[in-house]
Structure 1
């Protein structure tokens, strides 16, 4: 959807004040064609909510394509509109103009195929870009006609027509004959003496030789030119006159045939004029959209959410015209709990940047550009953005600084309403402080009453109390580091600015007596306000530190919780597998023992029959029964082998299984007939002997997610990332990590080495093959990182 005629744009003055034009200059560098650059130069912030949303969406789609593919095929686009219009009135295009048309058709076809393949192969949802390329008609025949007739240098090729090829073949044969005749002349016996130079040249489109003036009579023919000194004449010898005439005729035929070819191609262009004009418009739009996306990518910008409610919420916002290594990111909030921010404090730097950052990012957002701020930032669509920033003193009108500011403010107050963003820099400055602060309060009240969103800076201390007396207004300041005597440029919303004059003077060496004497001139009320602000700053810094510490602990806890969940999941999975294997192995062992026991019993029975040994049959049957009952059956719930129940004499310290709870415990003391006190975890309970089973084997140690090094607990992750490490350093890290993982009793870990040349993977594999505790190693599966990851299982 293109902009309609009724779209309203911002006034030019604000674009200059907030340096939006400098943004366009930077953006223009990312255009692939003059068409896109021209579109960028005309870009203005829109005041239509629907249009701003659409502009942001199209930039989002292009940014998504760039993230996926890294580029878009937009080279070879030219502004061919004038060429098309000339063919529509019967004009003939020259070869270079036809080349531009052919290249533009090719660019459109490439872009159309690129977007369609993205949608088809990747399932990408880019409806706006899809709609743009749908408008592009396939004009391959016209493109091929042009490419077959004209080369990239703008020359009509022999392949343009059979007639042209025939003419040029004759022409070349004729030229060869002329050269042969002339070369025989310049190689003659007296040629070196009579010719100025032994070369063949061209004058008036005819082949000639340079003859010295005094030997003119020796070369019969036509003189076409002479040197500036008159000592050399350029003569067409009579022997080649007829050949030159013939060559000239062929040149005329060639020109006529070329003209016919160009007219024919121009006619074909005229027939496709409508499709070509649509193509140009679509490519111009696509170039413009992808330029916005590339610009945003270069700035590490994000797409803001757009609202109609006058709400601004910027996270880590950066001024785009300040170098990245110097800019300070700030959080700026306006229009939710408060509609006016008053930034107070001395001129320590940073207050004006806050105004310009807010205003410029608003203009960028309404122009469909991504903004240099973190994800989740939000911007409103304002009908007008007003700013009174900097010294706009009018020399012609001989106005003072205060007067020039007031003229600007008066003009703002004529137009401001509830859909406006107003930025005042040093409101009320340049006049008597008492009158200036009173005017500033009155102006703020007037703009606030109209429902506008306002950010104002001032150095008047009277305005610190302004926010406390009015709902919807909040104080703010820019942080100043008294230790370094430099501003940090951090915006502190909710904290009014305080004067740092005494602290700065003290740091610079002013005596304590003078500072104390100066403080005596400050009234008690001002002192109380300054002390309150100092207390607020101290509390804020402490709260920020506590928040950062809590955030770090939360992140560590979340990481530990995730690893523990993953570890427990793997533990139970492996536990089940081990139980099944143990049961199968035990059954195999017992079966083997049964077979051997049967052999023994058969032998005993045979011995009894043969020698009369006193082994009774019922004893043999009992022995076989005991053997059958010895076959273990694992209890999947408890993990204990079930055998025929045997009475076990219990004693304190024995480990038992409390069958009613499925929980292990340790016997403490006997409390009655067939009743014991049992320690189960942190609980002590009385349990009857019938409700517990004696555990013969030693309990396995519980997995320990924390390993201890140098007396300090630290977290051992389930993955080790050694990508980018040197070979020797990486193997040392792997060796230490395997030891830590074994200490933590992990069943399985992953080592991320990347794909690369494979050297790092080979080294890791070779080391793990020979490690005594490693049971098995394998490359990761598709969902685990593939050949870039080695999964290690321990014994």
Structure 2
């Protein structure tokens, strides 16, 4: 690829973005040297690597390769037996540690993770853990070696510490003792590698020792007292031994590293390559890019491509085809309409794709492999060479017309501009026709109507236009294939304030052919917009139909599931009833035989029969009755607020909370449920607790007066009620039972989930009327009944 084209299409700016995503110096260098390739196998391999890195980053995050520092010079020194410094050994150590982390990152920990083309890179990494551990044990940082690096070094440093302690002790005694009056400051200092004390110059003769330095004013002399000279000499000798021991440690570590030069070099090579590949993957993620499909037939199909250097929030995607049914695309439309952006998008995508980079477009976008891309874009005017814009463009075009072939992609921006329109249009047509006749993939932008006609009348040549909204005088940046663009000069001028009479006069200067052609373009534009609106409407209808189909399907599935559940529950209940009936029948037969053989009293037989009757009644009460009809027809005036009523369709009782409206509808409160019901579905009832018997006596005034002692039953049925409803009714019942002096009562609550039984027992524990309570025994109702003894 020629450098001029790379610069015009701003390929270098993409490389700069790629470099920012690399984390090591070596990886950045590989990014900087990345150029488009022409071998389709190499291109596909590079694209697969980018895709694999993209997938791994999304699933596991981005690995760091910051420890991948160049170590080639160090490796060469190791190969010839050289000794590395502590800094070089640490760089090798960091490189191997980075290799270890990368190898762990590359492992597939989950069974659902698929193998990819990067596995081979990760498998080649050998972090040489034994060498890393040894370097870390011996080298603390570039300027410090650990005491434990070798026994000799540890022994020398122990001796140095002992002498240091003696020197400090001796000098401290001097500083804090008899010499204190002779000192400038009571401190111990170092001059060179010797311990000294600061003595005032006038007391030089009072302190015996060697002068090593003096202050700038000469008032202070730094003297090494004779008492520590030998100690300092011993210390200096130990310093030399320490350096010898450090060199021995470095030589040993270097010898160890020399055994793994192949592994170190492999780790460096692989890590910088992985850093480069993951930089491509990170760039693809940042651009929301996808892997293009490559072909060698010169076919380009970009699906909603976005120029990567434009603002992501504002860039308008373009869909473009070239090289399938036509090999020459002529893009027309007003200035600032996006023609040049479309041109650059095609060229830049081609360069990025052939460099192994993903392109910011939808999946299944296609790109062709071109051996070279030639672009004539931008203002080529050169003052230095005394060339006009037209001359510069022609010079550029001539330079690559000699080199282009059927494996080239040619891009022209405003072909033939900068000269007489008639001659420019004729020249542009001739150039494009020459390239078209050779089958060279070409894309050009222009204002010339002659080129629009050429595209309409020539097979294998297609028009395209960048849409422009005349009402707002703004481009939409949408690229429309197959439709030539209008210049819209008159419309734009009119909207900007040019008087109508000037516009009308300008129209008279158009030839009849030009005017007819513009009318055709206007009709085409109108038809296209109408079709677009209809297509959008149809698409909206389709989406609505799909939504309704999905909702209907979901409802159908839900209904079928409910039907299956209801049938299953009904079968289970029927089976339970049959089982219960069978047990009852068996028990009855056994009792019948027993009563026939034994001398059983009639009272006991009647008691047994009563038990069976109650059991059957209980079974009937659990079945859902058929909706009843009211015993009589009621008028709206029959219903008063607070009236007790029965909702026939629901088989529930409640009270009226609103008067009937014009249609006969009123609100009924049924426990916690409130519902609007028609009076035809209601029956007025006499609100008496179910435990009150009908025994009554008539007074002298003809009114009925209930006698508590005669009307309170010994049993209350709370089946089907909530805990709150049951407790409220039970509270009233116990008051009545206590007034009637009943000794015990039977509370029927059923088994069910046990919630009602627990609520009733919790209530009974707090009642002063209740002496004790228990669950019913066998024959009394078992756990479905509670027997309460009253005080």
Q: Distance in 1 between matches of 2:520 and 2:336?
A: 20
Say which SS state the counterpart of residue 121 (structure 1) adopts: coil
Query: C-alpha deviations, 1:501-521, integer Å up to 9, x for none?
Result: 211222122222221111111
Unaligned runs of 5+ in 1: 1-9, 609-626, 632-697, 699-769, 771-775, 777-795
Alignment of 1:85-234 (within 5 A): 85-116=76-107, 118=108, 120-188=109-177, 191=180, 194-234=182-222
Name 1:359's counterpart in structure 2: 347
Say which SS state the counterpart of residue 74 (structure 1) adopts: coil
Name 2:455's counterpart in structure 1: 467
Say which SS state the counterpart of residue 247 (structure 1) adopts: helix
Alignment of 1:491-570 (within 5 A): 491-570=479-558
Name 2:386's counterpart in structure 1: 398
Give the alignment partner of residue 316 of structure 2, picking from 328, 332, 351. 328
- Asked if 2 retains the 8 angstrom alpha-carbon contact of 1:135 and 1:278, the reply is yes
Q: Distance in 1 between matches of 2:292 and 2:542?
A: 28
Shift of 1:599: 9.1
Name 1:371's counterpart in structure 2: 359
Shift of 1:184: 2.6
Say which SS state the counterpart of residue 309 (structure 1) adopts: coil
1:381 aligns with 2:374: no
Shift of 1:177: 1.7
Distance 1:97 1:600, change over 3 A: closer
Give the alignment partner of residue 39 of structure 2, picking from 41, 48, 55. 48
Give the alignment partner of residue 61 of structure 2, picking from 70, 83, 92. 70
Distance 1:551 1:200, change over 3 A: farther
- Asked if 2 retains the 8 angstrom alpha-carbon contact of 1:61 and 1:126, the reply is no
- Asked if 1 retains the 8 angstrom alpha-carbon contact of 2:97 and 2:127, the reply is no
Name 2:562's counterpart in structure 1: 574
Q: Distance in 2 between matches of 1:365 and 1:38?
A: 20
Shift of 1:186: 2.8
Distance 1:497 1:218, change over 3 A: farther
Distance 1:475 1:242, change over 3 A: same
Shift of 1:567: 3.5
Distance 1:606 1:178, change over 3 A: closer
1:441 aligns with 2:432: no
Shift of 1:595: 7.0
Distance 1:567 1:199, change over 3 A: farther
Shift of 1:73: 4.4
Q: Distance in 2 between matches of 1:292 and 1:259?
A: 43
1:305 aligns with 2:299: no
Query: C-alpha deviations, 1:395-426, integer Å up to 9, x for none?
Result: 44222211111111011111111111111011
Distance 1:532 1:163, change over 3 A: same
Q: Distance in 1 between matches of 2:427 and 2:172?
A: 96
Alignment of 1:15-34 (within 5 A): 15-34=6-25
Q: Distance in 2 between matches of 1:270 and 1:524?
A: 87
Alignment of 1:766-785 (within 5 A): none
Q: Distance in 1 between matches of 2:40 and 2:21?
A: 26
Q: Distance in 2 between matches of 1:248 and 1:349?
A: 81
Query: C-alpha deviations, 1:277-298, integer Å up to 9, x for none?
Result: 1111111111111111011111
Name 1:764's counterpart in structure 2: none
Distance 1:220 1:61, change over 3 A: same
Distance 1:127 1:180, change over 3 A: same
Say which SS state the counterpart of residue 465 (structure 1) adopts: helix
Shift of 1:169: 1.4
Q: Distance in 2 between matches of 1:276 and 1:598?
A: 90
Say which SS state the counterpart of residue 29 (structure 1) adopts: helix
- Asked if 2 retains the 8 angstrom alpha-carbon contact of 1:160 and 1:261, the reply is yes
Query: C-alpha deviations, 1:87-114, integer Å up to 9, x for none?
Result: 2222221111100101111111221222
Shift of 1:598: 9.1
- Asked if 2 retains the 8 angstrom alpha-carbon contact of 1:416 and 1:450, the reply is no
Shift of 1:318: 1.1
Distance 1:180 1:345, change over 3 A: same
Q: Distance in 1 between matches of 2:472 and 2:94?
A: 60
Name 2:400's counterpart in structure 1: 412
How many residues align structurally? 603
Say which SS state the counterpart of residue 221 (structure 2) adopts: strand
Q: Distance in 1 between matches of 2:183 and 2:538?
A: 97
Say which SS state the counterpart of residue 373 (structure 2) adopts: strand
Say which SS state the counterpart of residue 304 (structure 2) adopts: strand
Query: C-alpha deviations, 1:204-262, integer Å up to 9, x for none?
Result: 21122223322322322222222333333222222211111111111100101111111
Shift of 1:604: 12
1:61 aligns with 2:49: no
Name 1:238's counterpart in structure 2: 226
TM-score where L is the length of structure 2: 0.72
Q: Distance in 2 between matches of 1:235 and 1:606?
A: 130
Shift of 1:597: 8.1
- Asked if 2 retains the 8 angstrom alpha-carbon contact of 1:53 and 1:306, the reply is yes
Alignment of 1:707-786 (within 5 A): none
Name 2:302's counterpart in structure 1: 314
- Asked if 1 retains the 8 angstrom alpha-carbon contact of 2:127 and 2:267, the reply is no
Say which SS state the counterpart of residue 117 (structure 2) adopts: helix
TM-score where L is the length of structure 1: 0.72
- Asked if 1 retains the 8 angstrom alpha-carbon contact of 2:23 and 2:64, the reply is no
Name 2:471's counterpart in structure 1: 483
Distance 1:316 1:188, change over 3 A: farther
Name 2:786's counterpart in structure 1: none
- Asked if 1 retains the 8 angstrom alpha-carbon contact of 2:334 and 2:468, the reply is no
1:14 aligns with 2:5: yes
Distance 1:491 1:571, change over 3 A: same
- Asked if 1 retains the 8 angstrom alpha-carbon contact of 2:38 and 2:370, the reply is yes
Name 2:732's counterpart in structure 1: none
Name 1:679's counterpart in structure 2: none
Say which SS state the counterpart of residue 76 (structure 1) adopts: coil
Superposition CA RMSD, Å: 2.8
Say which SS state the counterpart of residue 114 (structure 2) adopts: coil
Q: Distance in 2 between matches of 1:599 and 1:130?
A: 77
Shift of 1:498: 0.9
Distance 1:176 1:395, change over 3 A: farther
Q: Distance in 2 between matches of 1:142 and 1:600?
A: 92
Distance 1:349 1:154, change over 3 A: farther
- Asked if 1 retains the 8 angstrom alpha-carbon contact of 2:447 and 2:487, the reply is no
Unaligned runs of 5+ in 2: 597-615, 621-648, 650-723, 725-752, 754-791
Say which SS state the counterpart of residue 560 (structure 1) adopts: helix
Q: Distance in 1 between matches of 2:27 and 2:254?
A: 25
